[in-house]
Structure 1
Amino acid sequence: MNLPKDAKKIELDNITVDFFEFTKDGDTFVYFDTSVCAAPEPMINAMAGLKYINHTNKKLLMKNHQIPSGLFPRIDKSFDFIIERVEDDNVLITFTYTQDSLAEIDFNNNFCAGA
């Protein structure tokens, strides 16, 4: 994915890759790429990004080498997600907060079994 020229690097707690924020077509996106990372880095970064967009209208874009199936059961009551296959057989997952969700997520539970 080519980031727009106006993408700004942002700092979040407990991340291991760079995160960028940009606006496109009126929506605010937060993007990170863990496609070359091994477990548990994708889970750690996904939970940090989801915590950042929690209770907002921002969308989180995660580029990864595989579908992070261990992540979805932890967040599916509070976030919707769409999975797309992109270049080099990677995936791009777009996460959005489910408005008025009453579910609570333990964002510190970022352990990954590597599956």
Structure 2
Amino acid sequence: MKQEIKVEGATVPVYTYEENGYTVFEFDTSMLGPPEPMVNAMAVLKLLDSPNKKVIMINHKKPMGLLEKVENKYNVNISDYEGKYKIEFTLKG
């Protein structure tokens, strides 16, 4: 069951739920323009502090600037999602 949580620095609703052994933090920035997607992603990514957590970001395009900024710390998986992009982040290592 999705539950909304308050994340410091986030300007969109963030939801958490359990899925396949992961605690998931999900948010949607597909209706926002720069810099809001990156601002929200950086706020929510702070919640990734263990290998059993992941962040899911829904966005209208691939956030290339964000991906370059975080690629050294996070694994990133991008897939099509209802005409948008679903970006999954997990900790490396």
Which range, TM-score by smaller chain?
A: over 0.9
Q: CA deviation at 1:28?
A: 1.1
Q: Aligned partners of 1:47, 1:95: CA distance in 2, in Å?
A: 11
Shift, 1:23, TM fit: 0.2
Give the gaps of 5 or more residues in structure 1.
Answer: 1-5, 100-115
Q: Provide, for residues 1-50 of structure 1, a one-character-per-residue CA deviation record: whole Å limited to 9, x for no partner.
A: xxxxx111111111110000000122111000001111111000000111
RMSD: 0.9
Which is strand-richer, 1 or 2? Answer: 2
**What is aligned with 2:85?**
91
Does residue 19 of the first structure (1) align with residue 19 of the second (2)?
A: no
Matched, 1:70 2:65: yes
TM-score, reference length from structure 2 = 0.94
Work out the number of aligned pairs and report it. Answer: 92
Q: Which has the larger radius of gyration?
A: 1
Runs of 4+ deviating beyond 6 Å? none
Paired-residue identity, %: 35
Q: Secondary structure of 1:32's match? A: strand
Per the normalisation by structure 1, the TM-score is: 0.77
Superimposed CA distance per residue, residues 37-75 of structure 1 (whole angstroms, 9 cap, x where no aligned partner): 11111000000111111x322100000000000011211
Q: Secondary structure at the match of 1:74?
A: helix
